[in-house]
Amino acid sequence: MKKIEIIWRELLYQALEKRQNRFVQKDLAQKFNFSTSTIFQALKMLRKMGAVKVGGREFILQDPEKLVYHWASVRDIGRDISYATLVNLPILELENSMLPEAVFACFSAYRLRFNDAPADYDQVWFYSDKIEEIKKRFPPSKGRVNLYVLKPDPYLLNYGSITTLGQTFVDLWNQDSWYAKEFVNSLKGKIDEILS
């Protein structure tokens, strides 16, 4: 994931899950050990579209919905796939067989967060850098892939074992399965409730 996406995730996490929408650019740069020019780049398009309002040293995320849709439209989840295979297990059993360090994404993240799923799903997506362990547990197998391992960024684990609301939405948006739209629509409703 690009550095600016890491910043976008943090902004959405703070706005949607912590109800905080006021930020200081220098503090964000220090938190992630990024340059202030990286923070400036992350905000550039958001300023143009009116998602953030910058004043002095701080800025306000005034329209999280614009940010989540912008990020969803530029996210390339395929670029982050580091391993994919077929595992002949029921989905819930597959999720329960995961490494403890895994960060669940997409459909599993939704189900685990809300203890519900708006549709049946047949894929498990998660972030992990323990590829050799995963290959031992889930060896390469031919057939219709249903297990996808995504490369995590260095800050992902700070948010827990499930992707943030914003990242879950963005990763779901980038799915091409028929049931992804059900998950996106349901999660959008939950985000709308938070923002209302």
Q: List the CATH number of the domain containing 36.
A: 1.10.10.10
The predicted model scores a pTM of: 0.95
Which parts of 49-164 fold into alpha helices (H)?
A: 64-74, 91-96, 106-114, 131-137
Among 74, 93, 112, the domain boundary falls at: 74
Query: Would you tell me how many other CB atoms lie within 10 Å of the CB of residue 128?
Result: 19
21 and 110 assigned to the same domain: no
Domain containing 111 equals 77-195
85 and 66 assigned to the same domain: no
At 111 the three-state DSSP class reads helix
62 and 114 assigned to the same domain: no
Give the pLDDT of residue 166. Answer: 98
Domain count within the chain? 2
Among 74, 89, 109, the domain boundary falls at: 74
**Sign (positive or negative) of CA dihedral 19, 4, 101, 151:** positive
pLDDT tens-digit map of 114-149: 999 999 999 999 999 999 999 999 999 999 999 999
85 and 56 assigned to the same domain: no
φ/ψ of residue 102, rounded to 5: -65, 145
54 and 87 assigned to the same domain: no
59 and 99 assigned to the same domain: no
pLDDT per position in the chain (196 positions), as tens?
999 999 999 999 999 999 999 999 999 999 999 999 999 999 999 999 999 999 888 999 999 999 999 999 999 999 999 999 999 999 999 999 999 999 999 999 999 999 999 999 999 999 999 999 999 999 999 999 999 999 999 999 999 999 999 999 999 999 999 999 999 999 999 999 999 8
CA separation for the pair 25, 40 (Å, rounded): 8
Pairing status of strand 103-105 against strand 81-85: unpaired
Give the pLDDT of residue 196. Answer: 86
| E-only strand ranges, the chain | 22-24, 52-55, 58-61, 81-85, 103-105, 124-127, 147-150
Q: How many residues does the chain have?
A: 196
CA separation for the pair 115, 109 (Å, rounded): 10
